[in-house]
Structure 1
Amino acid sequence: MSITGSTQQVTPELRKWIVEQAEAGHSADSVLKAMIASGWSEDVAIDAMEETLRGHLEGKAVAQGLPPAVPVPDPPLAESPLYLDAGDRRVAVLQTMVAPRVVVFGSLLSDEECDALIALATPRLARSLTVATKTGGEEVNADRTSNGMFFQRGENELVRRIEQRIARLVNWPEENGEGLQILQYGPGAEYKPHYDYFDPAEPGTPTILRRGGQRVATIVMYLGEPAKGGGTVFPDVHLEVAPKRGNAVFFSYERPHPTTHTLHGGAPVLEGIKWIATKWLRERRFD
């Protein structure tokens, strides 16, 4: 290893050395210490390691036949904040997970906002549909036994305010979001574990992707609490998020593949009624 000039340029030789150390089983901490001992500044060393290893792992993944990774929404959590500024509201960070990237937010919505969304949605409820990736259309799915409706993006002042809040919270453009979906789950209703991305192998997926590309993240907001059951479950990582009113769970998926471990579902409601608002985020502007 060597330092090139006064600005410490990261060379191809350094990147090669970092990959060799990782493949030899050396820990990230030991590699970082070796770089600092050789004269690299800590900030440059960390950035070089993260960028090099991310690129190396991505190359290996694609070589193994996985779809390429894409940028995803990313809440600013590097400094482990207790709260995030969502513009018009301070939102609590209650729980985080790196793989998969899951974040539980507290008080994303007020009680008044929850009530208003339910009131506006109720007259428009119908049996929920799912996207039919074989055709690019929609269909009734026995795995999803809820009633629901969609607001158009920016349909009213309340929806616009929530969409702006989400965009700021997760660092993603408002126009990349699908319309806000409101769902009602009665006793026994559920949504069996599934992925939110569109399967590239299905014949209808190219048609779906014309409207904004792949889904890259989901945020589920809880509007009304059931007395029992109804949690959001992630079977691959044995996680269940309780459906507490006003809170939300966010998760992102950088490639449309099960290796993201974003398999999730809505557990059956055992008593009472569960209301949620779901927002799916796309790669690009959704029209």
Structure 2
Amino acid sequence: MKSHLPIRPELREWILTTTRAGHSVDAVLKLMQETGYDPRQSRGIVATVLNMPISALDPHVSASASKGRRTRHPEAPHVVVDGRTVHVGLSVDSPELRVLNDFLSVEECAALIEQSSPRLQRASTVDRSGKHQVDARRTSEGMFFTIGETPLVRSIEKRIATMLSIPVDHGEGLQVLHYLPGQQYEPHFDWFNPEEPGFPAITAKGGQRIASIVMYLNTPEAGGGTAFPEIGLTVTALRGTAVYFAYDTGDTASLHAGLPVEKGEKWIATKWLRERPFQTSSR
């Protein structure tokens, strides 16, 4: 069970700021215990703030692996996809993470920005019932393409499917996000929390999320990287580069954040992959 006690705004902000700065969840729990918090209460508070199962914070309980299809992880030094050479610039084992250089061309990045710009609106997240809602943790603007909506989208979806050895229909619609100076996405997980009441509805149309790929469509003047605080890694936002990472349900190593843009702007395209074919529905 998560904590049902009121969480002070300053405590919530401290947890988010501390994880975003590169401290692991275990380090946050230890700091809370040192300042007088009961360990059980601390786990409940952190699980609530980060929207994760409290069982994931028990060192004696392993994460539950998804039973559906999994992705194939690209291996260094490069992978050739439909005639395009994608270079694996960095490999991490936990979580399974790859930095993919030259994933998109300069022309593809510019075209995605151009096609998405007229449809931008305040970016949303998936709430506990499975519906999209505006969330204070995400301050960007964004939009979704439907599966195969344009020739460019179809080409990118095919590239992802081929590279990761997973059918196109296991992916959610491609989302494009636009961040201005100061905008960010606070530490979060992409997998859905099975302890939330809306979990059955969220996963009924495709199962659990199993992997994400974030594609950088431009290079911000400063800031805007993707931080993985559990492993002390920040991926720099560079045009044409992508970061791919896979995870199981309850995998705390996949905690990540879109760092604030310090100068300029940031454009990214994100694709989430499911363990089963994803059934689209009206938003």
Deviation string, structure 1 residues 33-68 (Cα, Å, up to 9, x no partner): xxxxxxxxxxxxxxxxxxxxxxxxxxxx9x937434
TM-score with structure 2 setting the length? 0.75
**Contact 2:74/2:88, CA 8 A, preserved across alignment:** no
Aligned pair count? 220
Residue of structure 2 equivalent to 1:273: 265
Residue of structure 1 equivalent to 2:250: 257
Q: Say which one has the larger Rg.
A: 1
Equivalent residue letter for 1:75 = H
Pairing 1:217–2:215 present = no
Residue of structure 1 equivalent to 2:231: 237
Pairing 1:100–2:100 present = no
Percent of pairs identical after alignment? 48
5+ residue gaps, structure 2: 1-57
**Contact 1:88/1:165, CA 8 A, preserved across alignment:** no
**Contact 2:178/2:267, CA 8 A, preserved across alignment:** yes
Deviation of the 1:69 alpha carbon: 4.1
**Contact 1:235/1:263, CA 8 A, preserved across alignment:** yes
Counting only pairs closer than 5 Å after superposition, residues 1-150 of structure 1 correspond to structure 2 as 64=61, 66-70=63-67, 71-77=69-75, 81-133=76-128, 135-150=129-144
User: Which structure ranks higher in relative contact order (CA pairs < 8 Å, sequence separation ≥ 6)?
Assistant: 2
- Structure 2 CA distance for aligned equivalents of residues 95 and 147 of structure 1: 29
**Contact 2:66/2:275, CA 8 A, preserved across alignment:** no
Equivalent residue letter for 1:227 = E
- Structure 2 CA distance for aligned equivalents of residues 248 and 100 of structure 1: 16
Deviation of the 1:75 alpha carbon: 2.4
Deviation string, structure 1 residues 85-133 (Cα, Å, up to 9, x no partner): 1114110110000011110000100000000000000000000000002
**Contact 1:234/1:263, CA 8 A, preserved across alignment:** yes
Equivalent residue letter for 1:74 = R
Moved segments of 4+, more than 2 Å: 63-72
- Structure 2 CA distance for aligned equivalents of residues 154 and 271 of structure 1: 33
Residue of structure 2 equivalent to 1:164: 158
- Structure 2 CA distance for aligned equivalents of residues 186 and 213 of structure 1: 33
Change (3 A) 1:267 1:65: closer
Change (3 A) 1:109 1:66: closer
Equivalent residue in structure 1 for 2:193, among 192, 199, 224: 199
Counting only pairs closer than 5 Å after superposition, residues 177-196 of structure 1 correspond to structure 2 as 177-196=171-190
5+ residue gaps, structure 1: 1-60
**Contact 1:87/1:165, CA 8 A, preserved across alignment:** yes
Equivalent residue letter for 2:97 = V
**Contact 1:178/1:279, CA 8 A, preserved across alignment:** yes
- Structure 1 CA distance for aligned equivalents of residues 82 and 143 of structure 2: 27
Residue of structure 2 equivalent to 1:19: none
TM-score with structure 1 setting the length? 0.74
Equivalent residue letter for 1:93 = V
